Structure 1
Amino acid sequence: MRSGTTRACLVACLTGLGTLMQVIPAGAQQGPVPLFLQNRNNDTSTATDGNGANGNGANQQGLGGGASNGAGSQNIPQGPNGVFGWGGGAASNGDENYPTNPDAVQTLELNAVDAESVGILDRNSGGLGVDMWSGTTRDTAARLIDALPDQPGSRAIRNLERRLLLSIAAAPADHKDISLLSHRVAKLQSMGAYGDVAKLINATAHNKPSADLAEAQVNALLVTGQLDEACSAIEGYGTQFDTPFWLKAAVYCQLRAKNTSSATFTTDLIREVEGENDKLFFALNKAIRTGSNVSPDLLVNLRPLDVAMLELTKQGLPAGKLQNADAPTLIAFVKSANTASDLKLEAARLAEQRGFITIDDLAGAYMAVTFTSDELANVLDDASEETPAREYAKLYQAAAKSEVPAARAEILAHIYENARSNGDYGQIARLCAPLLEDIPINNDFAWFAADALAAAIYSNDLERAGGWLAQAKSSANNGNSIESRLIVLYPALVLAGLEDTGAADNERSAATGIAPVATFGLGGANTTGAQAPATSQAQARHRARMDEWAELQTARNDQVEARDDAELVYSLFAAFGVEVPEKFWDSLLTQPYVVSSAVPNAGVVHKLAQAAATGQRAMAASLVAISNGTLDSDMRNAVSLGQAVGALRAVGLENDARRIAVETILESGL
């Protein structure tokens, strides 16, 4: 060990201080094995997915030098190109210098900290692992990051993108002139994930940020309402950078502090540098000083600084700007004290759908609306409100304030039904998940079991979903519709892992958390290797349920849509090793034989298969998002989606695969 960086790292680790980070060497490809230092006080509150390290005791590094496999034997952690020992280097013949087990403790001679590898998520908190870019060049990684969809149509894909961008990961060693950190920050800004932008840049606080990162940090602080912190950063960075942005930002802080003389001086400097080309800045500047309003025609494509200055004018955003608002503008609608109540509600509904605010932010907005006690008491009898968001707010408040479980269940059933009609079902399931937890699972609520089951699956509360499934099955009879609803939900139940289909491979994968090796065919991913005998009773039940589900599809009025849904279900089943009897594939062997909707190009298909075969997690995750994240669920190509979830399973991202599949099925109305 050497002094300087070494001592700082050791202090951080021993005291638990500082941002969660891991130290990555910035040196050449050949050399000492990396030591990934972890904060022992890991804050896992940022985890949004269960793809952390296995809890089964496998591959845990022991002090004796090997990794315990949970059965008393000792094994040396091994990467794809070499074996990593406790005290030495790597026997490697390729570009891979990082262990495939990101939790293994390794030794190295510390070099300079590589800021390109910084992140806020390790494997325990949802990250994809320090070796996630293994086998990928930095140029390719940058292009993949840039190509990620800004607004994924799937919440699960957005979550996967976010974690990919925030993961602590060794950057590829080539093309050192390319800053992956800058590309990651730019993509997070495009996604409207400004809170994450601030956290990621804060994680690089030990380094002097570049001009673009410093500007991104200030923008994130402005959008998220951390105005004191923003002005402190503006004051600090303003001495380092001299672009017009910093002068304009200084004007904002001076006006906010009511220091008009300094604001006037700085504004004059801006005129000298670039004239008055920035019409919106000067209009906002004038409005703040005089108490006037800015022309609505200028309030388009607002930048974070524009949003902050607009708040000082006490002028609200025009309602007509809401539907097509970009992330900063839509967040401004939600957070501004000058936004009318109903407009703020609708903005919050849209902002949460697009991932710009959290579900807790939405709940806060809905609870902030004032309704009379009579309105809440008669919520199921009164006429609907003028906007969906106001109706949701009233129903949500009534359910939250109800102390009678039966009354709460009735209100939840009503809000779920409204949400299905409006296309907001996923959002409402997430919103009401805490309220659903207080409904007891017993015979008194048999009538509510199917509704509760679907909502629990969507909100990823699979333990509660299992309870509601058991209740629904025990309550189904000829006098109610529970059985038919369970048949409709069967694909989602299978993909969520709530039904035993007799697929030995599926059971083994669920038990171990390790996905099988997959190859790609027409129906998606096909597992290979030795298979244990299927459970005959479970397999028989599965086949019978498939028959019942297919009968319901045959009875649908829209047979084109029914066929599309069948393709989707069969492809996803195949990707998870769930049996699809051959007769169902035969039923699809009719016109049209060729479809072309949402088919990725040959390069994407090839590289996705390659990533799955070689365990390249970041490559696989990126290509899945690129090829399937830009379309609504009813427009996705069944074969492409099957290949996508199969690839995720192959690289160990089983939970992501399941969430994408389940969300797609539920949002398709199946």
Structure 2
Amino acid sequence: MTVSRTRTVLPAAALALGLLTATAICAPAALAQSGGQPLRLFPLPGQGGNQGAGQENRPPAAEQQPSQTPQTLPGTLPGAATDRSAPAPTAPSQSAPGQIAPVRPAPAAPAQTDSAPSLRVPMPVPVSSNVLAAPSLDSLGIAERGFGQDIWNGTPRAVAQRLLESLPELPGSHALYTLQRRLLVSAALLPPPGPEEGPEGTVLTIRAQALREMGALDDLSALLASLPRNAGSEGLSRLSLQTDLLRGKDDAACATARNAGSTYGGVFWRRAQIVCDALARETGRVDLGMTVLREMNVPEDRAFTRLVDAVMGHSVVLDSLPAPTALHLALLKAANMPVPADAVAGAPPTALVALAEGDYAAAEISIAAAERGLALGIVSADRLAALYTAYPATPAQLAGAIAAAEKRSDSASRAHLFRLASEESLPLAKAEAIATALRIARDDGSYMATARLYAGLIAGMQPTGEMIWFAEPAAHALYAANRPEDARPWLLAIRDRGRFDEMAATAWLRLWPLARLVGDDTVTVWEDMALEASLNALMTAQPNEGPARAALLAALLDAAGEPIPSTLWRGWLDGPYIQATALPSPTIWFALENAAAEARIGETLALVLIAGGSDPLGQIDIVPLRRIIQAMRQADQPKAARQLALEAAIAHGF
């Protein structure tokens, strides 16, 4: 909501009263300090002092008559020479003793000349701003993880709510995933809801549900923990219960089931109470709950029924769990049953994170969940590294890990190869294992996740002379993992070697654009010759696809803020002018253009995420990619914009 900021001017009468009060308070102390002689607070006529333009000799405060509060002209500051609200200065008059001198009109101030400095205060320019509401339930968030509280300034509540509802369930980029997570946890102010915008807390529920859909369990848990007592709706209470179960906080979840279950009587709450009764081994209550559930004539959840029986001590076989929920996983863990193999493939993001981070019977299930979660950007590389490290391996299996990984690709071979790279003490042998893992990952489409997994190991190595062959894959993997500081020593080694080594010089041309995309100007300076050489190398290596790939790389550099010569595009005008490209609705692009130009940060970022969607970056065309990255820079996110540009370049094979 946009309103004008009004100025509040102190009335002159109040100002004069304050001065009279201060004089009355200070007078006794002043007399005491003067040794009994009256201390004159104002100069006598003719004793002058320095008088500024528009100032007159004033009589003592006691001789002034109180006046009514006059009107204050707009644009006037209290106490200024142009402040028409101040009492007009008067000259002293000859009066009988004990009488108050009449107030006479003050003489007109002398006309201003060029030689005399003006004391007039310039008329303040009216200021307009968007005023947001006071903090409310919808403005709750995690300040240290999100953006500022004014990101929705200038955006109507209905628009913000619609944009938040339209965010992708799971962005197809690590950079965009981080951006969406930060937007959803931001403690940002919103105007109060209108009659048709739902009750207070509607936007908070939308944000919490979006965090659940993208598997951000830590952020979701922290957001729900900020809720005031008894402030949650049914949707928020359900999310709180599910989150606690997925994080192993059964007592907190069951407390929610008892408190909210008595208020909300749906199927979910019936099942939640049955789960809590089963965890407490309350046989009678479980039987009663299952009877009530059958009487509600809801479709049977066979996996739920079997898991309840297993927790209560019955012999049960569960060979399939295609879409596990928080209730399923809580019962599965309580029954100490193995997770069915199909649970990982069909698990929604929150369940996938729980499977990767929980302590379940089969290590292969947790590894498979962590591998899929790392590829989606919702599980950390450290978690998968810990699971790989704990995976059992014999000395013979470690010795043959490289050959086994090249022959077949499964969880066991990947775990053994990582263990070999982690435990190998010889730098050359360690580098060989890492290079093999990166090469296999390029072939099977898991390169970005594998680079993040091995980045910590690479960062601990040194680019010595015997390791120069490993410098390019090492630097490239570190850039893919968004660790440009760790990539710098390897890039420097390539640059220095390239002065007399043609292979190193070629590697430098391939890596130079990545260093520029990330903004690392401590290693590379911008050179038109280097850009031209890099693009020419691209077109030489791939004559058919080279021009299109060169245009993509130049567009990414331009979007990231690097100076692309305006004449560059002319050299490619002989290519095809028409290209079929799938683009979002034009409305999205027009709205994004407007929001970015007017610096509406939250609106811009939400539209960026909607435009990016859930498709992998390698499937997004050059034109929308460039506009998305530029909009991120306009929204004061230059580092995230460069990260997205770098990620897009690597996803497109650079």
Shift of 1:664: 0.7
- Residue 332 (structure 2) aligns with: 310
1:40-119 alignment runs, 5 A limit: 93=128, 95-97=130-132, 113-119=135-141
- Residue 413 (structure 1) aligns with: 435
Q: Deviations 1:386-429 (Å, cap 9, x if unpaired)? A: 43433332122122223333432332222222222222222122
Q: Is the 1:385–1:391 contact (alpha carbons within 8 Å) kept by the matching residues of 2?
A: no
Amino acid at match of 2:187: I
Shift of 1:97: 3.9
Q: Deviations 1:442-487 (Å, cap 9, x if unpaired)? A: 4343222222211222222222222222121112255562221221
Please give the alpha-carbon distance, in whole angstroms, between the structure 1 residues aligned to 2:429 and 2:392.
Answer: 21
Task: Tell me: CA distance 1:387–1:319, structure 2 relative to 1, closer, same or farther (3 Å).
Answer: farther
Amino acid at match of 2:644: I
Query: Equivalent of 1:241, from 243, 264, 284?
Result: 264
Amino acid at match of 1:636: I
- Residue 276 (structure 2) aligns with: 253
Structure of larger gyration radius: 2
Q: Is the 1:367–1:397 contact (alpha carbons within 8 Å) kept by the matching residues of 2?
A: yes
Shift of 1:606: 1.4
Amino acid at match of 1:164: L
Please give the alpha-carbon distance, in whole angstroms, between the structure 1 residues aligned to 2:283 and 2:229.
Answer: 35
- After TM superposition, the score normalised by the length of structure 2 is 0.74
Query: Equivalent of 1:466, from 488, 496, 503?
Result: 488
Q: Is 1:208 aligned with 2:231?
A: yes
Task: Tell me: CA distance 1:31–1:305, structure 2 relative to 1, closer, same or farther (3 Å).
Answer: farther
386-395 vs 249-258, which moves further: 386-395
Give the alignment's Cα RMSD to 1 decimal.
3.1
Query: Equivalent of 1:362, from 384, 399, 403?
Result: 384
Q: Deviations 1:460-517 (Å, cap 9, x if unpaired)? A: 2222222222121112255562221221223211111124799xxxxxxxxxxxxxxx
Q: Is the 2:499–2:505 contact (alpha carbons within 8 Å) kept by the matching residues of 1?
A: yes
Shift of 1:225: 2.8
Amino acid at match of 1:452: A
- Residue 558 (structure 2) aligns with: 574
Please give the alpha-carbon distance, in whole angstroms, between the structure 2 residues aligned to 1:448 and 1:138.
Answer: 53
5+ residue gaps, structure 2:
8-124
622-631 vs 640-649, which moves further: 622-631
Task: Tell me: CA distance 1:630–1:453, structure 2 relative to 1, closer, same or farther (3 Å).
Answer: same
Task: Tell me: CA distance 1:642–1:260, structure 2 relative to 1, closer, same or farther (3 Å).
Answer: same
1:332-351 alignment runs, 5 A limit: 333-334=355-356, 340-351=362-373
- Residue 512 (structure 2) aligns with: 490
Amino acid at match of 2:554: Y
Q: Deviations 1:503-562 (Å, cap 9, x if unpaired)? A: xxxxxxxxxxxxxxxxxxxxxxxxxxxxxxxxxxx55xx2222222222222344724x3
Query: Equivalent of 2:198, from 145, 156, 177?
Result: 177
Task: Tell me: CA distance 1:628–1:416, structure 2 relative to 1, closer, same or farther (3 Å).
Answer: same
- Residue 141 (structure 1) aligns with: 160
Shift of 1:206: 4.2
Query: Equivalent of 1:629, from 613, 634, 637?
Result: 613
Q: Is 1:402 aligned with 2:421?
A: no
Q: Deviations 1:621-648 (Å, cap 9, x if unpaired)? A: 1111111232222221212111111111
Q: Is the 1:30–1:97 contact (alpha carbons within 8 Å) kept by the matching residues of 2?
A: no
Q: Is the 1:252–1:309 contact (alpha carbons within 8 Å) kept by the matching residues of 2?
A: yes
Q: Is the 2:138–2:190 contact (alpha carbons within 8 Å) kept by the matching residues of 1?
A: yes
Amino acid at match of 2:183: L
Amino acid at match of 1:145: L
- Residue 597 (structure 1) aligns with: 581
Please give the alpha-carbon distance, in whole angstroms, between the structure 2 residues aligned to 1:126 and 1:480.
Answer: 46
- Residue 639 (structure 2) aligns with: 655
Q: Is 1:264 aligned with 2:287?
A: yes
Please give the alpha-carbon distance, in whole angstroms, between the structure 2 residues aligned to 1:386 and 1:586.
Answer: 48
- Residue 51 (structure 1) aligns with: none
Please give the alpha-carbon distance, in whole angstroms, between the structure 2 residues aligned to 1:669 and 1:228.
Answer: 49
- Residue 530 (structure 2) aligns with: 545
Please give the alpha-carbon distance, in whole angstroms, between the structure 1 residues aligned to 2:324 and 2:456.
Answer: 35
Q: Is the 2:274–2:290 contact (alpha carbons within 8 Å) kept by the matching residues of 1?
A: yes
1:366-381 alignment runs, 5 A limit: 366-381=388-403
5+ residue gaps, structure 1:
1-26, 34-89, 99-110, 503-537
176-185 vs 585-594, which moves further: 585-594
Please give the alpha-carbon distance, in whole angstroms, between the structure 1 residues aligned to 2:366 and 2:2.
Answer: 52
Secondary structure of 1:134's partner? coil
- Residue 602 (structure 2) aligns with: 618
Shift of 1:657: 0.3
Q: Is the 1:222–1:304 contact (alpha carbons within 8 Å) kept by the matching residues of 2?
A: yes
- Residue 158 (structure 1) aligns with: 177
Q: Is the 1:193–1:355 contact (alpha carbons within 8 Å) kept by the matching residues of 2?
A: no
Q: Is the 1:138–1:171 contact (alpha carbons within 8 Å) kept by the matching residues of 2?
A: yes
- Residue 195 (structure 1) aligns with: 218
Amino acid at match of 1:163: R
Shift of 1:126: 4.3
Query: Equivalent of 1:231, from 254, 266, 274?
Result: 254
- Residue 127 (structure 1) aligns with: 146
Q: Is the 2:629–2:641 contact (alpha carbons within 8 Å) kept by the matching residues of 1?
A: yes
- Residue 428 (structure 1) aligns with: 450
Amino acid at match of 2:244: L
Query: Equivalent of 1:609, from 585, 593, 596?
Result: 593
Q: Is 1:643 aligned with 2:635?
A: no
How many positions carry a matched residue from both structures? Answer: 533
